[in-house]
């Protein structure tokens, strides 16, 4: 069986040659680790890294990107490898590949095929507090409705606005969704890399909302992304969402910049052990962003 995560924290990493050597120095098993599936890597590299990390004792959540899977036969082979490693949780997304490599143009059919293959896998899906640069609001709403019936959890895209995240979770409540929600927050990242990713990730609006914060200073020329106070963002999210029964924990986008993670991870652990903060009055709902 896949080990249970040690806390309400999940660290997203990118498959790399030295990941299995470097990660335990910063983040010990049985912590939860989410392994990305990038278009230029392909799903096999994700599965290989996931199996290796599971062997070290981590609770591993591999990403499988629908548009990167060439066939149902390839999917079954990947699932066999993951199952043999004791991995029981997956995160299924459409992916950033421009043209589908096979029969899956979006994550809905992939989720159904995974569930048909084996009921032992629980499935996580993505949520977009600020919308998606390639999808309309209607597509996001209908896609979420179609997928949520087969899913066990939802992870939000990286966002820099506590208000946008809280409004999105409140809108999920309003629409009747009951999936546990992992809140996606940034780890340390080079500012140049952040700017290059912003449009693709759909986080432009929250970057604008970060005016007057450490994030704004980073964008204006500070040396690195640590000038943005992720711990402050987490604190603000807790103010808005304290006691919310949907919240599963924080999903930290690490960008594999592991050397700068300890301070942030320590801060999150301190937030977890502290008494919950009282909730703030809810802001307006934005159901069009679901």
Domain total for the chain?
1
Statement: residue 191 has pLDDT above 90: no
pLDDT classification of 91: cutoffs 50, 70, 90: very high
Q: Provide the pLDDT confidence category of residue 84 given band limits of 50, 70 and 90.
A: very high
Give 41 or 271, the one with higher predicted confidence. 41
Q: Return the pLDDT at 77.
A: 98
**Peptide bond before 278: cis, by omega within 30 degrees of 0?**
no
Domain assignment of residue 177, yes or no: yes
User: Can you give the CATH number for the domain in which 54 is found?
Assistant: 3.20.20.220
Phi, psi of 14 (to 5 degrees): -105, 135
More confident residue, 281 or 264: 264
pLDDT at 221: 46
Look at residue 67 and tell me if it is in a domain.
yes
pLDDT of residue 265: 80
pLDDT digits (tens, 9 = 90+) for 29-42: 999 999 999 988 89
Domain span at residue 165 reads 9-289
- Is 58 among the domain residues? yes
- What pLDDT does residue 207 have? 53
Confidence (pLDDT) at 141: 87
User: Looking at 160-174, 182-196, 222-236, which range is the least confident one?
Assistant: 222-236
**Cβ–Cβ under 8 Å, residues 52 and 17:** no
What is the model's pLDDT at position 134? 76
Question: Bigger pLDDT: 278 or 178?
Answer: 178
The reply to whether 65 falls in a domain is yes
Residues 6+ apart with CB under 8 A from 171: 285, 286, 287, 289, 290
Q: Which segment of 106-120, 159-173, 204-218 scores lowest on mean pLDDT?
A: 204-218
| pLDDT per residue as tens digits for the range 217-269 | 444 444 444 455 677 888 899 889 988 999 999 999 988 888 878 877 876 76
Report yes or no on 133 lying in a domain. Answer: yes
Residue 150 lies in a domain: yes
Res 283 pLDDT > 50: no
**Does 206 map to a domain?**
yes
- Mean pLDDT, the chain, rounded, equals 82
- 116-152 tens-digit pLDDT: 999 999 999 999 998 887 778 888 888 899 899 999 9
C-alpha span between 11 and 33 (Å, rounded): 5
pLDDT above 90 coverage of the chain, percent = 56
Indicate whether 59 belongs to any domain.
yes
Mean pLDDT along residues 204-212: 50
């Amino acid at each position: 069986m896949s080990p249970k995560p040690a806390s309400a924290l999940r660290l997203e990493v990118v498959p790399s040659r030295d990941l299995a050597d470097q990660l335990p120095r910063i983040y010990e098993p049985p912590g939860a680790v989410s392994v990305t599936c990038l278009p230029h890597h392909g799903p096999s590299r994700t599965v290989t890294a996931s199996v290796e990390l599971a062997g070290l004792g981590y609770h591993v959540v591999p990403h499988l990107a629908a548009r990167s899977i060439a066939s149902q036969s390839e999917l079954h082979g990947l699932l066999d490898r993951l199952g043999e490693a004791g991995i029981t949780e997956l995160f299924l997304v459409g992916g950033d590949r421009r043209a589908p490599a096979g029969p899956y143009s979006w994550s809905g059919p992939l989720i159904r095929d995974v569930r048909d293959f084996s009921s032992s896998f629980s499935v996580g899906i993505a949520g977009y507090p600020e919308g998606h640069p390639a999808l309309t609001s209607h597509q996001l709403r209908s896609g979420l409705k179609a997928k949520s019936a087969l899913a066990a959890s939802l992870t939000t895209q990286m966002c820099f606005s506590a208000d946008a995240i809280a409004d999105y979770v409140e809108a999920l409540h309003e629409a009747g969704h009951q999936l546990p929600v992992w809140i996606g927050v940034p780890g340390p990242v080079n500012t140049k890399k952040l700017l290059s990713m912003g449009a693709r990730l759909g986080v432009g609006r929250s970057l604008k909302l970060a005016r007057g914060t450490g994030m704004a200073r980073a964008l204006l020329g500070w040396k690195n992304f640590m000038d943005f106070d992720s711990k402050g963002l987490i604190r603000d999210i807790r103010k808005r969402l304290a006691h919310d029964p949907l919240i599963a924990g924080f999903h930290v986008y690490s960008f594999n910049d592991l050397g700068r993670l300890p301070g942030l991870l320590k801060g999150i652990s301190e937030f977890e052990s502290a008494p919950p903060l009282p909730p703030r009055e809810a802001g307006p709902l934005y159901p069009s962003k679901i």
